Structure 1
Amino acid sequence: MLTKSPKRKSVNLSIDVDILAEAKALNVNVSRAADAGIAEAISKRKAELWLQENREAIEENNRYFEEHGLPFSEYRGF
């Protein structure tokens, strides 16, 4: 069974020459490494944005639990 690979698009990137040389010397697939690095950067940025968008609600929850404690804490065995 063949799996369909994701669509690819050629782009121009500027990469540090020393990094590129080392990647080639180590047989690193630069395109795949760039994909992985960009995917990681996207994931981190989405997490940052989510925290920014939800900071007020998170802080309000923290204030509530500081004032009232955790629900059912009297039943916790730890």
Structure 2
Amino acid sequence: MRNVRSTQPAKKATNLSLNSELLAEAKRLNINLSATMEKALAREVKAKLRDEWINQNTEAVESCNKFTEEHGLFSDSYRKF
């Protein structure tokens, strides 16, 4: 028999504190709280990782931009436009 493994990461139960009126309205509208939270959390994590990368690489990006301003691009001699 083949081993069948899911490609999805394991889920973990957690507790959240939410505005009770908002929660009641979400339930009334049949909003899947787990899926909604997962999507929102994924967006927030992506934004924070982007900000972290920018902060960690600002000096290198500025250095590269300065070099390009002073010396141009390596491909400038091959450009047709």
Instruction: Give the TM-score, by structure 1 length.
Output: 0.78
Q: Which amino acid aligns with 1:60?
A: S
Distance 1:70 1:17 in 2: 57
Distance 1:76 1:26 in 2: 57
For residue 72 of structure 2, the aligned residue among 66, 69, 73 is 69
The gaps in structure 2 that reach 5 residues or longer are: none
Q: Which amino acid aligns with 2:45?
A: I
Distance 1:31 1:46 in 2: 22
For residue 39 of structure 1, the aligned residue among 42, 45, 67 is 42
Deviates more, 1:6-15 or 1:47-56: 6-15
> Sequence identity, in percent?
38
Distance 2:47 2:76 in 1: 33
Instruction: Give the TM-score, by structure 2 length.
Output: 0.75
Aligned length: 77
The gaps in structure 1 that reach 5 residues or longer are: none
User: Which residue does the alignment assign to 1:12?
Assistant: 15
Distance 1:3 1:32 in 2: 21
